[in-house]
Structure formats: C-alpha cells, structure tokens
C-alpha cells in the first residue's frame, strides 16, 4: 500500500471480549486494541514530531464455520478439528479495520467478509500444518496463503485481502475518512 509504518502490539485479553455476532466481535476487538495502544503512546498521540498525520490501524479477524465463531485454535486437537471441518466445505472470514487519527482523535471503522471454499484436504497436509505451528497464530487455524493450504483452496468469494487479515480497500477508505 506504500506507507511507512511501525508495528506495535496491543497486548489485550482478547478472550475477555465477547460478542455474539462475528461482525460485532471483530469491531470490539479492533477498538480495544486501538484503545490499548493509544494509552501507551506519548502525550499528544504521535510517534514522531513532524507535520505528517499519524494514523493508527488496528484490525481483527475471525472465521465463521457453520455459524460458530472460530478464533485461534488453542490445541492440536482443536486445530485439527478446524482444518478437517473446512475440507471439502467452506467457511466465512470476517475482518475489521479501525483507523484512528492520532492528531485529532477521529476514529473510523468497518468490517468486511469473504467466503473460502476448500477442496478435500489430505490428513498428511493437516498434520504438516499443525506440526509447523502456524495454525495456532491465525484465526480459525486458516492461513490461505500458506503453500500447504493454497492448493486446496477451490474459490474465494470476496477479497483475498480480507481472508489474509486486512482488507486493503476498506483500509484505504477508512484512511480517507479519518484524515
């Protein structure tokens, strides 16, 4: 997207924030992340002392499978159940973006969703994904762009960026709104 950025972690208790609807959950989590980071910034909210506008971007993503919200799997058993469930089936990915203008305090947010359809995923691929450990770091244990996963993606309906965790179109729109 061509922007200079600094990565900061929010260090919030994501499990302590619950909502019934996936759209509400990802928005609440992105807002909480923004609040946590803003509180840690120096007074005035900026990271650098210059004339440019500093925008804080926070985001969150969940997977919805058969109406159930899935976050990061917490065990090998859960990761296996998640990925095995997607095999020959489909899941929705819901992702939020919140942009906060640190100079003005203006905050804009929104969410996007996409559907991912999978071919049958062999057990050995599932084993390899779990052995690598990557499934424990991503919503629903689902990393679309992973070389082991990609061959078994039949179709994506919606933005691939949304599935990967940050909708570029939504982020650009919110950048303009937050200015």
Known catalytic residues? 60
Can you read off the two tokens belonging to residue 119?
A: 């071919």
Cα separation, 4 vs 94, whole angstroms: 26
Return the C-alpha torsion angle 105, 111, 112, 117, nearest 10: 130
- Closest to 140 measured CA to CA, from 27, 22, 11, 18: 22
Contact status, residue 140 vs residue 63, Cβ threshold 8 Å: yes
Using alpha carbons, list the distances in angstroms from residue 134 to 23, 52, 54, 90, 106: 24, 36, 31, 20, 35
């Amino acid at each position: 997207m061509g922007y200079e950025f600094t990565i900061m972690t929010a260090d919030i208790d994501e499990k302590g924030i619950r909502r019934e609807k996936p759209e509400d959950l990802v928005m609440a989590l992105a807002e909480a992340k923004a609040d946590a980071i803003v509180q840690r910034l120096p007074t005035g909210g900026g990271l650098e002392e210059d004339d440019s506008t500093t925008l804080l971007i926070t985001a969150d993503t969940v997977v919805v499978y058969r109406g159930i919200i899935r976050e990061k799997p917490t065990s090998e058993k859960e990761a296996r159940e998640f990925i095995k469930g997607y095999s020959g089936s489909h899941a929705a990915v819901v992702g939020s973006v919140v942009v906060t203008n640190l100079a003005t305090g203006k905050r804009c947010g929104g969410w996007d969703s996409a559907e991912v359809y999978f071919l049958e995923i062999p057990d050995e691929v599932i084993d390899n994904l779990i052995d690598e450990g990557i499934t424990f770091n991503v919503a629903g244990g689902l990393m679309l762009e992973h070389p082991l996963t990609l061959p078994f993606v039949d179709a994506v309906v919606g933005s691939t960026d949304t599935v990967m965790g940050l909708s570029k179109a939504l982020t650009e729109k919110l950048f303009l709104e937050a200015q």
